[in-house]
Chains A and B, each alone.
Chain A
Amino acid sequence: MKQYCKTRRLLPGFRLTLGFTLFYLSVVVLIPMSAMILRGSGMGWGGFWKYVLDPRAIAAYKLSLVASMTAALLNVLFGTLLAWVLVRYTFPGRRLMDALVDVPFALPTAVAGLTLGNLYGPQGWIGQWLAPMGIAGVNSRFGVVIALMFVSLPFVVRTVQPVLETFEQEVEEAAATLGAGRWRTFFRVVLPTLLPSIITGFALAFARALGEFGSIQFVSGSIPFRTEIAPQILIQHLDEHETAGAIAVALFLLIISFLILGTINLIETWARRFQN
């Protein structure tokens, strides 16, 4: 990458810092990535598509997509509610509740998986109540959604919360004075303002859920066509000694990651413009 400096640099350290940044990224990201792409290109398009479009892999992408989407949507619901309650109301334990929202972010995913697997298992505190209802808490899509919801919850709350904080209550009050009912005010005035942050939160939660592996490994049971998620296909290939398959799927997931990053950037640009 040829660097070209547009403005006159007043501060020193451009070469040093950029050089180090690029060197570091090369060693950590770019070289391993190109190694993978190179290994992947060795198998040709035929080999690549054979692994990527394998029916079982497709079922796993679908589950990843649908479960992440479901988890993110549920989080939009509960996360917005949480943000609302935390910002708008006073009640004992509010600060504790606020702090607890960060738990899924701080808790290692393996620990989350272990605990959720136990909690929702047939003998677990929650699972034993689900079992008579015919709901399998673990080794089921239900369990996958629960785990994904757990790991991605903070994203919605923490994106909506600050916007709600700075929200001009005068606007609401004005709407109320003009005779708008509480619900109407909420849906006509508050929600549209919150929408960009909710969408951003949704996108972040979705992206986080899509990449999740640790907790799912403990709760999904990896049943082909039913509870397997995309990263597990990759692990499966590695377990089965199909390095080529693992690389093909990894490349595919890498491309998806870039697409998601691009989309999130677009959403954020849009949200920013909307908010201004």
Chain B
Amino acid sequence: MLNTFYEEEIYGFIFREYRELGDPELLLVSLPDVGLVGSIAAVNIIRELGMKDSVGIDSYSAFPPVVIVQEGEPKHPMRIYTGDGIAVLITDVPVPPPAMAPLTRAIVEWALRRRVRAILGVTGMGNPARIEMERPGIHYLAIGRTAMGMADKLGGDAKRLSDGILVGPMALILKEAARARMDMMVIMVDSYIDLPDPEAAARAVEAVSKITDKEISVEKLMKEAEMIKLRYRELMKETRSMMAKMGKGYEYRAPLLYT
């Protein structure tokens, strides 16, 4: 494990920073969710932009006793990579639902303390018609001026989600961001609900590429789609069980108020 440069505890979660973060303006958050769209997209972004493992997030009570070993080096299961003015949060293990609320609060608080300008959530939007889609659609939600500006960069390629119910980690982060008056945008790509969906993740990466004005290739991601599905299948199974507990089924009903 890398040497700790700075350590801070926020709402019971320990953020261990290994190096100077370089003032990231944007925090991209991907937590295991529908189709693992966020997780797959985030890993591709980290790889393509050559980002560095900079922060390990730990909790003695909320996370299982797990260490990830990569090329002989032990790492925290939940990590933030930085580079190019962006920070990307990924996790190798799904977060138990009771720990989700304090965790999302801690993430938003960390972003505030590091003076991040906006949070960008990337996730899938389970669509039963996904099987017929050649090119999955992109939907978004944006709160705050910076986030609205980010959404404008997507142009006609994305639709603003006007009505619906959002359930899960992104819903919690969105609520926390609104409470903390932090700008936030959530990108949701049509995807399979409980199958890893690299094609949907590729669409999410294309959207992030436009928002950040950085060229992020999806060629390798598309080429390795089969391999990714095989690699992520166990995480998908774990996530499916967590999603059911979080009441993900609520997303498939209409909200009470309509105009």
B partners with A: no
B contact residues vs A (CB 8 Å cutoff): none
